[in-house]
Chains A and B, each alone.
Chain A
């Protein structure tokens, strides 16, 4: 079973626009991570936010975490064609990551 659920399932935006996706999870976490996957290849780690953090930035990425609502959001600003990928949130519990179903982002030129 999956711990996290992303919303929306798919997102199509114009290059230069911002993309926002959300993740909800069910149980207490140590941290929450976001990963990117380009068309059926390996996952690339984007950012990790600890349970005692509320917001974190990395380049064009901004992640928020609300542990009271058990939710997180990932914002990609000024999107580029290379951002076209699937994005997954993952929660960390006892040496394993539980992934959500992912949000597929398509950036149109």
Chain B
């Protein structure tokens, strides 16, 4: 089975621009989560989608948004980029079984904001 794929892998943007990152989950997985990883803040939860519905959201400003399509693929968008948005953005998909689930992570998108 193919793993979680994320595109693009690397991205350089300028302050004030917007960016869209894409994530394709493992086939059959309907839950997709997004995380931001920085040296200072570590791994922080952004949001989670299941069957095109956002079920949980982390403590990030409204500039960060996401969506999920009917085929479970997900995108996240960051508008009006700031230098502090430079980070590794990780997507993870899950096959939810009861209340316990493992997350399978993609390789991440490294975003640099200059």
Contacts and interface: CB of A to CB of B under 8 A. Distances in A.
Contacts, number: 66
A45 B104 contact: yes
B70 to A, nearest CB: 19
A96 to B, nearest CB: 5
Nearest to B101: A92
A95 B54 CA distance: 10
A51 B5 CA distance: 31
A43 B31 contact: no
Contacts of A50: 100
Interface of A: 1-2, 30-31, 33, 35, 40-45, 48, 50, 88, 92, 94-102
Given A45-B102, A45-B104, 9 more contacts: A1-B59, A31-B100, A33-B103, A41-B108, A44-B105, A45-B103, A94-B56, A96-B56, A99-B42
B48 A2 contact: no
B11 interface: no
Interface of B: 4, 31, 33, 35, 42-45, 48, 50, 55-56, 58-59, 88, 90, 92, 99-108, 110
Nearest to A88: B43
A29 B62 CA distance: 28
Contacts of A41: 107-108
